[in-house]
């Protein structure tokens, strides 16, 4: 009985499908401002506006008394969808803020985040908020798992530059 | 303004803190959605014509600074008998687990009271000023008198044979919600006294363009067909008030789709005739107001 149920479940692809990789190239733009602080950035996956998995959150981890967590709420959507319910830091998700430039992020099929993905349509969300600066959020839709190598991109206009998403079966 | 008139205005401002008259009483928190270990908020509290501009009188709160006395004056004049001190508003700062916190760095200034709260517990906090009592108007020797206080003191302090006596039972409540980390529900439970907001949508999870669902209870029962007004901050910088007027349905429920992000002031007032002869009051007035923050998506 249990075996039958499991088989039916597998057929309906309700089990996680792994074995594909997800790569992100994220550009943090150089800004001509008098006072520059590296942005806080959150990257996560949603389905139908529901939070599914966190990929990364970059914030000031080194301030004493966790003072850097005070501004996490400025990534308003991420804070609402996930951040506020987390015990920080989260292993494999929390990281230090990053400098201006293009950053390559690789998540393999075995990673905690991607293991949660069942077959279906998703969105990659990237939200950035900068002290004494602005806030920007970008979305890139994608289907999982990829049957062939696919790429999609979004272009930021203020706090974020180009974001390229590549899925590799 | 002559001192006497000034002090009358002040007394009125204090004794009608939540009235529907031109002056509105409000509390404005510096933030309502917070992250970090034990974040702080700072709160302004005032009585004013325009929402969130302190330009009239502070909202005087017990434990928040000293009662307001203008420089060079005493409240009742130098040689006068000291007037009975009007009670200042009673503020409750309720932690997510229901315990009470004290206001810190508190001060009462000419136009506003301020106090800070360190959110030393994760979850949703409530700041509440609630009053229940009687309000009476009557004539004595041709002079109009006002009295407000607890029901128990009414018979002792208001003459039995007062002329043109009009007594109102009043229940007022003013609330602010603030969340550190994950929103919680405990402080949202009603006390079933007076007019209270039931938040089906969490009051610290409000976003522009989204619809929030609320309901009103009056003494614990659905407050049907109640008028609710909602005013966005920034009155000074626009020509019209742009208030949103809503009505509760038969179950006391109403919903609002937030037009834009910002601070909002929500108010409802219920007035009902009292037919029971147990109370000296002929009318029951219950009011509720809350400051709500709507975030940009």
Tell me if B37 and A72 make a contact (CB, 8 A cut-off). Answer: no
Region B101-126: mean pLDDT is 97
Candidates B30, B34, B35, partner chain A, best to mutate (most A CBs within 10 A): B35
Candidates A84, A86, A131, A138, partner chain B, best to mutate (most B CBs within 10 A): A84
What's the pLDDT at A168? 96
Distance from CA of A14 to the nearest CA of B (A): 29
**Chain centroid, CA A98 distance in Å:** 15
Domain layout of chain A by residue ranges: 14-168
Tens digit of pLDDT for each residue in B254-286? 999 999 999 999 999 999 998 888 888 999 999
Residues in chain A closer than 8 A to B183 (CB atoms): 84
| pLDDT score of A17 more than 60 | no
**Cα(A34)–Cα(B254) distance, integer angstroms:** 47
Per-residue confidence band for B161, with pLDDT thresholds at 50, 70 and 90: confident
Tell me if A76 and B297 make a contact (CB, 8 A cut-off). Answer: yes
DSSP one-letter code for A9: H
Tens digit of pLDDT for each residue in B236-257? 999 999 999 999 999 999 999 9
| pLDDT score of A33 more than 90 | yes
- Nearest CB among B182, B205, B296 relative to A85 is that of B182
Tens digit of pLDDT for each residue in B40-49? 999 999 999 9
Which residue bears the tokens 């293009």?
A102
| R_g over Cα of chain B | 20
Residues in chain A closer than 8 A to B32 (CB atoms): none
What's the pLDDT at B201? 98
Residues with Cβ < 8 Å from A142, sequence gap 6 or more? A121, A122, A123, A124, A150, A152, A165, A167
Region B65-91: mean pLDDT is 71
What's the pLDDT at A15? 52
What's the pLDDT at B9? 44
Per-residue confidence band for A65, with pLDDT thresholds at 50, 70 and 90: confident
Region A105-113: mean pLDDT is 92
Percent of chain A exceeding pLDDT 70 equals: 89
Region B26-36: mean pLDDT is 98
Region B226-243: mean pLDDT is 96
What's the pLDDT at A3? 54
* Strands of chain B, DSSP E: 24-29, 33-34, 40-48, 57-58, 91-94, 100-101, 104-108, 113-118, 123-140, 143-149, 163-180, 195-199, 211-218, 221-222, 227-232, 244-247, 253-257, 262-273, 283-294
Higher-confidence position of B163 and A164: A164
What's the pLDDT at B249? 98
H-helix or E-strand spanning residue A77: helix A76-81
Q: Which of B18, B273, B289, B85 is nearest to B167 (CA)?
A: B273
**What does each C-alpha distance from B296 to A145, B104, B258, B259 come to in angstroms?**
32, 30, 10, 10
Q: Which residue of A has its CA nearest to B122?
A: A84
Tens digit of pLDDT for each residue in A146-158? 999 999 999 999 9
Q: Which of B93, B149, B147, B88 is nearest to B121 (CA)?
A: B93
DSSP one-letter code for B142: T
Per-residue confidence band for B16, with pLDDT thresholds at 50, 70 and 90: very low
Q: For domain A14-168, give the fold.
A: Immunoglobulin-like (2.60.40)
Per-residue confidence band for B17, with pLDDT thresholds at 50, 70 and 90: very low
Residues in chain B closer than 8 A to A125 (CB atoms): none
Q: Which residue of A has its CA nearest to B184?
A: A85
Region B174-186: mean pLDDT is 98
**Would you state the structure tokens that stand for residue B42, as one six-digit string?**
């700072």
Chain A, chain B: beta-carbon pairs less than 8 Å apart = 37
* ipTM for the assembly: 0.84
């Amino acid at each position: 009985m249990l075996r039958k149920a499991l088989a039916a479940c597998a057929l309906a692809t309700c089990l996680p499908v792994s074995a594909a990789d997800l790569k992100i190239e994220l550009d943090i733009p150089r800004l001509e401002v008098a006072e520059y602080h590296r942005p806080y950035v959150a990257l996560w996956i949603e389905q139908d506006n529901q939070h599914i998995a966190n990929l990364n959150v970059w914030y000031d981890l080194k301030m004493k008394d966790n003072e850097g967590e005070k501004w996490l709420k400025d990534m308003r959507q991420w804070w609402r969808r996930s951040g506020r319910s987390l015990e920080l830091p989260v292993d494999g998700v929390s990281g230090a803020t990053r400098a201006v430039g293009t950053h390559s992020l690789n998540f393999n099929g075995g990673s905690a985040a991607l293991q949660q993905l069942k077959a279906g349509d998703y969105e990659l969300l990237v939200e950035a908020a900068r002290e004494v600066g602005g806030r920007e959020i970008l979305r890139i839709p994608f289907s999982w798992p990829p049957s062939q190598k696919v790429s999609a991109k979004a272009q930021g206009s203020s706090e974020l530059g180009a974001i390229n998403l590549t899925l590799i079966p | 303004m002559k001192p006497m008139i000034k002090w009358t205005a002040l007394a009125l401002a204090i004794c009608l803190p939540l009235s529907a008259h031109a002056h509105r009483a409000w509390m404005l928190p510096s933030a309502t959605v917070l992250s970090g270990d034990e974040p702080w908020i700072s709160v302004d509290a005032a009585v004013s014509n325009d929402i969130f501009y302190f330009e009239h009188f502070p909202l005087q709160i017990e434990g928040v600074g000293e009662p307001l006395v203008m420089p060079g004056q005493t409240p009742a004049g130098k040689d006068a008998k000291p007037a009975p001190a009007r009670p200042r508003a009673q503020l409750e700062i309720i932690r997510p687990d229901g315990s009470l916190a004290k206001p810190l760095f508190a001060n009462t200034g000419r136009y506003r009271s301020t106090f800070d709260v360190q959110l030393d517990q994760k979850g949703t906090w409530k700041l509440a000023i609630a009053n229940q009592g009687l309000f009476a108007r009557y004539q004595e020797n041709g002079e109009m008198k006002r009295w407000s206080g607890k029901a128990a003191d009414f018979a002792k302090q208001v003459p039995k044979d007062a002329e043109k006596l009009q007594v109102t039972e009043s229940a007022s409540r003013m609330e602010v919600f603030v969340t550190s980390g994950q929103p919680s529900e405990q402080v949202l439970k009603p006390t079933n006294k007076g007019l209270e907001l039931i938040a089906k949508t969490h009051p610290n999870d409000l976003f522009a363009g989204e619809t929030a669902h609320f309901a009103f209870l009056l003494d614990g029962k659905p407050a049907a067909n109640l008028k609710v007004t909602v005013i966005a901050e920034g009155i000074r910088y626009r020509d019209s008030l742009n208030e949103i007027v809503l009505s509760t349905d038969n179950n006391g429920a109403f919903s609002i789709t937030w037009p834009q992000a910002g601070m909002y002031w929500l108010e409802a007032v219920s007035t009902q005739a009292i037919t029971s002869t147990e109370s000296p009051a002929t009318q029951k007035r219950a009011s509720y107001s809350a400051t709500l923050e709507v975030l940009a998506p």
